[in-house]
Amino acid sequence: MTIDRFDDESALSAALATYVLEQIVVRPSLVLGLPTGRTPLGLYRELRERSRGDRIDWSRVRTFNLDEFAGLPSAHPASYRAYMQAELFDHVSIDPANIGFLDGNAVDRTEECRRYEDAITAAGGIDLQILGIGANGHIGFNEPASGLRAHTHVAELERETREANADRFGGQWRNVPECALSMGMATILNATEIVLIATGAEKAEAVRGMVEGLITTRLPASLLQVHPRVTVMVDRDAWSS
Ligand code: F6R
């Protein structure tokens, strides 16, 4: 793993935005894996500002988001799809047909997970996967457990994770769906390159475990140690060593 340390969140976001846009220029049909949550908000702000006025051609870029809440239609304001439209997709020249997203409202969730895996494979795999990390070490919605799922699956959410998402649901963690659809560990590890971003002191323990600890399903992000091309971008607070 390569560790890139930044003074603060905005320096980190600016550096990652530069890298992502360089990749799009070099490879216009880049396949991007994307996270939601608080951490990438600065990245998406930078991407949309620097893409303004068609400065960056997103028309051939394809994206796959990591996860979506189960039981929510994509138009629901708390859905991750709504987050992505508001933070990025509505502001850049991406072709809606190139946006890969899990349908949280699918009647047959197992079939939906299979469709998603097939869509990623048909796109040729993910070139650049961007990840956040939960304070408990989750990536996507792969929560700490005695075993982890390899492929896209229906995941039960930990109370801690539901609490972390409560602000999208009127501040009430009980309103956060109990399940989500999420890429699995192999889906993530099959990406050619992975960049994980972490900011804030509440992530420091998980980051330390991920980088320096044993590989364990109790800290799903630690599995990234087996990947040959991972960069961890942290601000000062998230890197306490
Ligand atoms: C969201 C996702 C999650 C988040 C993680 C950190 O799509 O995959 O694993 O990256 O929960 O969330 P924030 O950035 O809100 O701390």
67 is catalytic: yes
**Spatial separation of the C-alpha atoms in residues 31 and 62, rounded to whole Å:** 5
The amino acid at 161 = T
**127-174 pLDDT, tens digit each:** 999 999 999 999 999 999 999 999 999 999 989 889 999 999 999 999
**75-119 pLDDT, tens digit each:** 999 999 999 999 999 999 999 999 999 999 999 999 999 999 999
Give Cα 13 distance to the centre of its chain.
Answer: 14
Q: In the chain, what percentage of residues exceed pLDDT 90?
A: 96
Mean pLDDT of the chain: 96
Looking at residue 158, its pLDDT comes to 87
136 is catalytic: yes
Question: Out of 46, 67, 68, 87, which one is annotated catalytic?
Answer: 67
142 is catalytic: no
Q: Whose CA is nearest to atom 3 of ligand 1?
A: 140
Q: Whose CA is nearest to atom 10 of ligand 1?
A: 132
Quick one: pLDDT band at residue 240, thresholds 50, 70, 90? confident
Quick one: pLDDT band at residue 239, thresholds 50, 70, 90? very high
What is the rounded average pLDDT of the residues 176-192?
97
Question: Out of 117, 138, 142, 190, which one is annotated catalytic?
Answer: 138
Contacts of 111 (CB under 8 A, 6+ apart): none
**Spatial separation of the C-alpha atoms in residues 131 and 62, rounded to whole Å:** 16
The structural domains of the chain, with segments of one domain joined by +, span: 2-235
Pocket test for ligand 1, best of 9, 44, 67 (most atoms within 8 A of CB): 67
Quick one: pLDDT band at residue 200, thresholds 50, 70, 90? very high
Pocket test for ligand 1, best of 65, 133, 196, 210 (most atoms within 8 A of CB): 133
Domain 2-235 listed as CATH 1.10.10.10 = no
- The number of beta carbons lying within 10 Å of the beta carbon of residue 214 is 9
118 is catalytic: no
- The β-bridge relationship of strands 153-156 and 179-182 is antiparallel
Looking at residue 241, its pLDDT comes to 56
Quick one: pLDDT band at residue 54, thresholds 50, 70, 90? confident
